[in-house]
Amino acid sequence: MIVVMKPASTAQQISDVIARVKSDGYDAHLSQGEQHTIIGVVGESPTPLREENYGTMEGVEKVMRISAPYKLASRHFHPHDTLVPLNGSHMGSKKVLIIAGPCSVESREQIIDIACQMKEAGATALRGGAFKPRTSPYSFQGHGEKALQWMAEARERTGLPIVTEVMDTAQVPMVCQYADVLQIGARNMQNYSLLHAVGESQYPVLLKRGMSATIQELLMAAEYVLSHGNRRVMLCERGIRTFETATRNTTDINAVPVLKSLTHLPVILDPSHSTGHWAYVTAIARAGIAAGADGLIVEVHPHPEEAMSDGGQSLKPERFAQLVRQVSAVAEAVGRQLAPQPMHPTAVNGTTAVHD
Amino acid sequence: MIVVMKPASTAQQISDVIARVKSDGYDAHLSQGEQHTIIGVVGESPTPLREENYGTMEGVEKVMRISAPYKLASRHFHPHDTLVPLNGSHMGSKKVLIIAGPCSVESREQIIDIACQMKEAGATALRGGAFKPRTSPYSFQGHGEKALQWMAEARERTGLPIVTEVMDTAQVPMVCQYADVLQIGARNMQNYSLLHAVGESQYPVLLKRGMSATIQELLMAAEYVLSHGNRRVMLCERGIRTFETATRNTTDINAVPVLKSLTHLPVILDPSHSTGHWAYVTAIARAGIAAGADGLIVEVHPHPEEAMSDGGQSLKPERFAQLVRQVSAVAEAVGRQLAPQPMHPTAVNGTTAVHD
Amino acid sequence: MIVVMKPASTAQQISDVIARVKSDGYDAHLSQGEQHTIIGVVGESPTPLREENYGTMEGVEKVMRISAPYKLASRHFHPHDTLVPLNGSHMGSKKVLIIAGPCSVESREQIIDIACQMKEAGATALRGGAFKPRTSPYSFQGHGEKALQWMAEARERTGLPIVTEVMDTAQVPMVCQYADVLQIGARNMQNYSLLHAVGESQYPVLLKRGMSATIQELLMAAEYVLSHGNRRVMLCERGIRTFETATRNTTDINAVPVLKSLTHLPVILDPSHSTGHWAYVTAIARAGIAAGADGLIVEVHPHPEEAMSDGGQSLKPERFAQLVRQVSAVAEAVGRQLAPQPMHPTAVNGTTAVHD
Amino acid sequence: MIVVMKPASTAQQISDVIARVKSDGYDAHLSQGEQHTIIGVVGESPTPLREENYGTMEGVEKVMRISAPYKLASRHFHPHDTLVPLNGSHMGSKKVLIIAGPCSVESREQIIDIACQMKEAGATALRGGAFKPRTSPYSFQGHGEKALQWMAEARERTGLPIVTEVMDTAQVPMVCQYADVLQIGARNMQNYSLLHAVGESQYPVLLKRGMSATIQELLMAAEYVLSHGNRRVMLCERGIRTFETATRNTTDINAVPVLKSLTHLPVILDPSHSTGHWAYVTAIARAGIAAGADGLIVEVHPHPEEAMSDGGQSLKPERFAQLVRQVSAVAEAVGRQLAPQPMHPTAVNGTTAVHD
């Protein structure tokens, strides 16, 4: 931490800051310039350093943090890529995984049908929402546990592991009965009670970036999950909120290489939410893989004009198959390949999640 | 709803859209221009109109919603100001309420001391956090139920009703034993499970705007609470996230008159979070009241340099007293007054909340 | 400047940085922590410090600037408020100035009529556009020099000094023949050629903040004007671009107290552009004065539904008169007053600008 | 255009709007719903429709534009890709062009050296700044005309056409003596005087998106150039300003497919400015081509730690060569190829620009 004193700060104010640094258990190094006095705070101590508190001391102009506030998520402390096992493949390896499926699970037939089509087109996992966070209380809120049962049936048929959102701490145990990966939605990225709860489960977590969360805040949210004992965290860039209205969100493609350099956790791109319009999904999926993403999560619906949610950004299955082909070509151009699909259907959930 | 057809759309595509409008139970009105054909969709039907689905039909360029998606929160349907009772005063009336106190409740002595000072300085309610949503899992997370008990003691001494945050559905019943107002924090504004839960309680809710939520999304979040039966909702502007880094957030002062025109719910400003720096809090508090806000929520700490959270944006009690005097002058300039303080301490929580 | 070395940096890399600091003519102070080594760079030298260059040296993690990059605009170096003379009054004093008038000067009659109405309602200066920066090449682009002549006539009648935009270096000499204050529009805030040109004139400059400019960038733009010899600069907050679409821009009300603390230059608020809707203009005008602004610039049009530009955000004259009354009450509540109006019409331009 | 009336609007107000539509020369189509009355405005007339004016009429809730406000830039009116000739190649064709070079031209030797290295590494054009828009008046502002002469020498040696920024209308004729492509910088995207001036030249224009300009505003800026007679416009995405601070800007990768669908003009990506850090440039360059961009503009400097500007985001020549190889592989994966380099040095400027 660095404390910058005001040009007009007094010797007494400077020594008060130094005294506090020492009483907090750290060392203080002084650099006295023409204008500013700078106090470098280094060392280790059990007392946490609260920048804000120093910032309110007399004579202090500003306080700057040096170290990243996350440890478990940091590549500095864990240089090797974390691999998250997913039904025989590993998210985070050279193999690119593609998660695909409808926004909402709308019926047993729908999800089983789509799952079969997704598998044929090359997907490696199945997404589908049972609990839907909708901006309007009057919109369809998901079929709940029934939808999870239907997804489990779809998994039995296809072997595709299930990725599905959990919205509240109270739902965690139930969702864990069915899911292979617990998705934390963008709106819940800073729901710390929920992060705590999934951190105590042993299920892989797909953590979506909040729509106005910085990259550092995303990593801090991951740190919550990691610090509660669950190391199987995948990060998902799904577009951020900006002034641009031509698309639903702005894909922060920079986040892909930035995250790959700051953290060892796998990075997934969601081109459906990050554009909000099916016509742009394939181009952005290609861009994500070209930028170094480890996987994609894509919304697909056989009849977008009938979808109960997110119809506008859902690809039809035939367009999704085209996306897979194009993404595969780009993956090879950057020295990667699509992950192989699960060979045999798995009968129970959690087999992929529990052992690795 | 209005459907705009592409310039190159065919007669068949136009009649397909019209057919769907009719099968959804609405009327379609056609305006055929040189370039664009516009289809106005009007009428009422039990089938909800999903703009997105129409947007994916062949030949459709875009779909625009006309009506606001909220009803219960809308001033159009409820022209009169909602008054939320708060220990003898009413949030939303001509009287301006001031909620003040520390970010975190740090000890029994601290909260009782501050409560007495706040009352003397002119506050009408006491804020304090028992459960703290912190970006780092390693930061102080609040004293939990113990803190609520201490706040209840502070209320016994001063009569000031308690405003405190609830972070998870599982906490709602417990927090309701102590609180007078349930605060929903900015990070949970779209935690729909939590909105549902507080909507089923009968406690007044202070709903903070998410840091990247639009005004419409804030109103939709309020609609969630209202639609579950709780009509005592207060909205809180607490700054939005923008590119500007000179302040922690950008106070969206425009939101004050915009909300007052769109909704009948009371509007509170939080100048502490919306600036993030104590030196700017008083100026923005004055601005909020000048713009028409119904109240303020302000962070105060006797020793900001020792605060366990938000020290940098906390006022010292003497500066808070000055804020109250200045805000009072501005309130009178715009035809309002500060609310009177509670005369007699109330012994139990909920008295202000349950009867009105 | 502070250079933070990577945790894995070598002794050689550290001494390379120190060597460069010395060869640039500065002193280097070392703080060696467990994780990071910090190098404080202090002292003075004719060689400018380029943070970016240090940032690319081997072993460097990041480089942080300590001092503000502006000097002439800084309150640190010039603690007293700058007063910009404006026809007998001074922008920046306790007296609040109100500049009002139409977006575009549409005809001789229009501008003379409005000027008279503005004067009667209490305005202290007249705004009006002769050259209009329009997003569409097909929109009305202003009446040019003719409009300036009409404004000069309006000044002769009313004594109100003229504030008008200059868009290009080539226009500066001509606009100076008529104007009392040269306005730099938001889109030209970083048109450095233009800043240079108005910096060489001796006319007061009203510098509008770019729609995505930070406060620091606004001050750097002011520094351009100041560094070319013109000390009569007024800053104008006119709303920034954010994700919120309920208003045309987001008024950055925080910028008012932040600017007042960082700089000695007067701060004006433009509630017309910062909201984009006439219904919110008065509330935000009150807020601006309550927050500490030194003046307002407001768009007024007798028939907004016929205006050639900005009709939607223009007040009718009678609403403007109401704004003046309300703003006056708020000004008094914060210890200020409206500036007196010019007593006698001035016959020539520049009298207010040249002598002070 | 669509006019939406307020639910409480009167029959008189509705007929006033209709009367105005007719007097403006358009047709009005009425859709009367339970809540809202909608008036569709269609047809053609010499009187421009000003939405804002309608928005201020009594009883009107809002006014929505249907047609895009640009014509010459629109793919709807010009379905075929515009090819901009550049020294034997064409920007906008299947061939991907790569423009590379230093931010500032620092000396004769520097630019000639870099030009040779760029050519060897595979670049198809040379960038370099002679006039530098710098945020600080105290920073290096460019070598001016001398730098242009040095660039012309570099072109003689390598045959690489020159892309360089013009900052002010007064500079246009002089810059045209040397440049092959006139670059309009992000800060000048809405400098309409300058757009007008380059629109009257016959030189290809590289128009950079303003840092907070919407895609539509970028297209409107292009429309300015096109409407003054110059059809050789290339658009450049160079990152937008958002809340994220981990990178200098946020690459709006969505803008690539969105622009390719809305306009026939070539789309270039600038991964240097859009990330602000050399370590991310190559990943984002690959992403840009994967997303469908027609070319790249990249900053390269042999000694970034000595660069007079933008050192932090400049690639060293060997890293640039690697970028070219990787981008080439991605280009082929999406069915494109790098453009061939100019075979023979061209002796005079403008040969590529004037004839096509």
pLDDT digits (tens, 9 = 90+) for A324-342: 999 999 999 999 999 988 7
Edge-first strand order for the sheet with C27-32 is C27-32, C37-42, C2-5, C60-64
**What pLDDT is recorded for position D325?**
97
Dihedral sign from CA coordinates of D341, D344, D350, D352 = negative
Residue in D212, D243, D286 closest to A214 by CB = D243
Q: How far is C280 from C269, CA to CA, in rounded Å? A: 14
Going from the C-alpha of A172 to that of each of A145, A165, A216, B7, the distances in angstroms are 12, 10, 26, 49
**What pLDDT is recorded for position C69?**
87
DSSP 8-state class, residue A251 = -
Helices (H) and strands (E) in chain C, counts: 12, 15
- pLDDT band of C68, cuts 50, 70, 90: confident
Kindly state the greatest CA–CA separation across chain B: 76
- Whether residue D217 contacts residue D208, with contact meaning beta carbons closer than 8 Å, is answered with no
> Of B298, B247, B327, B294, which is closest to residue C252 (Cα–Cα)?
B247
- How do the pLDDT tens digits run along chain B, 356 residues long? 899 998 889 999 999 999 999 999 999 988 887 778 889 898 888 888 888 889 889 999 889 888 888 999 999 889 999 999 887 788 888 899 999 999 999 999 999 999 999 999 999 999 999 998 888 888 888 999 999 999 999 999 999 999 999 999 999 999 999 999 999 999 999 999 999 999 999 899 999 999 999 999 999 999 999 999 999 999 999 999 999 999 999 999 999 999 999 999 999 999 999 999 999 999 999 999 999 999 999 999 999 988 888 889 999 999 999 999 999 999 999 999 999 887 765 544 544 433 33
Helix extents (H) in chain C: 11-23, 51-55, 108-121, 145-158, 172-176, 192-200, 215-227, 255-262, 271-275, 278-291, 317-333, 351-354
Q: Which range among A66-70, B325-329, C117-121, D141-145 shows the weakest confidence by mean pLDDT?
A: A66-70
Residues of C in Cβ contact (< 8 Å) with B251: 252-254
- pLDDT band of D290, cuts 50, 70, 90: very high
Residues of C in Cβ contact (< 8 Å) with A64: 2, 64
Residues of B in Cβ contact (< 8 Å) with C327: none
- pLDDT tens-digit map of C130-172: 998 888 888 888 999 999 999 999 999 999 999 999 999 999 9
Across all residues in chain C, what is the average pLDDT? 92
Cβ–Cβ of A284/D291 closer than 8 Å? yes
| Count of C-D CB contacts under 8 Å | 130
Residues of C in Cβ contact (< 8 Å) with A4: 66
**A281 is written with which tokens?**
């999904």
pLDDT beyond 70 at A36 = yes
- Whether residue C60 contacts residue C325, with contact meaning beta carbons closer than 8 Å, is answered with no
**What pLDDT is recorded for position C346?**
52
**D108 is written with which tokens?**
């004769």
> Of B59, B33, B45, B58, which is closest to residue B1 (Cα–Cα)?
B45
Cβ–Cβ of D245/A280 closer than 8 Å? no
DSSP 8-state class, residue A260 = H
**What pLDDT is recorded for position B261?**
96
If residue C295 lies in a helix (H) or strand (E), which one and from where to where?
Answer: strand C295-299
**C246 is written with which tokens?**
């309920």
- Whether residue D323 contacts residue D315, with contact meaning beta carbons closer than 8 Å, is answered with yes
Chain B residue nearest residue C262, CA to CA: B246
Q: How far is D109 from D111, CA to CA, in rounded Å? A: 6
Q: Percent of chain D beyond pLDDT 70?
A: 96
pLDDT beyond 80 at D193 = yes
Q: Which residue has the higher pLDDT, A300 or D354?
A: A300
Chain D residue nearest residue C184, CA to CA: D191
A44 CB burial (10 A radius; 0-12, 13-18, 19+): exposed
**Pairing relation of β-strands B37-42 and B27-32?**
antiparallel
- Whether residue C162 contacts residue C151, with contact meaning beta carbons closer than 8 Å, is answered with yes
What part of A 276-295 touches D (C-beta under 8 Å)?
279-280, 283-284, 286-292
Q: What is the ipTM of this complex?
A: 0.93
Residues of C in Cβ contact (< 8 Å) with B240: 242-244, 250
Dihedral sign from CA coordinates of C166, C168, C169, C170 = negative
Going from the C-alpha of C300 to that of each of B46, C164, C297, C313, the distances in angstroms are 46, 15, 10, 8
**What pLDDT is recorded for position A354?**
33
Chain C residue nearest residue D171, CA to CA: C193
> Of B345, B348, B297, which is closest to residue B323 (Cα–Cα)?
B297
Residues of D in Cβ contact (< 8 Å) with A245: 214
Residue in C133, C227, C308 closest to D137 by CB = C227
**What pLDDT is recorded for position B356?**
34
Chains that touch C (3 or more CB pairs under 8 A): A, B, D
pLDDT beyond 60 at C350 = no
Q: Chain D within 8 Å of C180 (Cβ-Cβ)? A: no
- pLDDT tens-digit map of C242-283: 999 999 999 999 999 999 999 999 999 999 999 999 999 999
Per-residue pLDDT averaged across A99-108, rounded? 95
Per-residue pLDDT averaged across D26-47, rounded? 86
pLDDT beyond 90 at A132 = no
Residue corresponding to tokens 């039809």 = A316
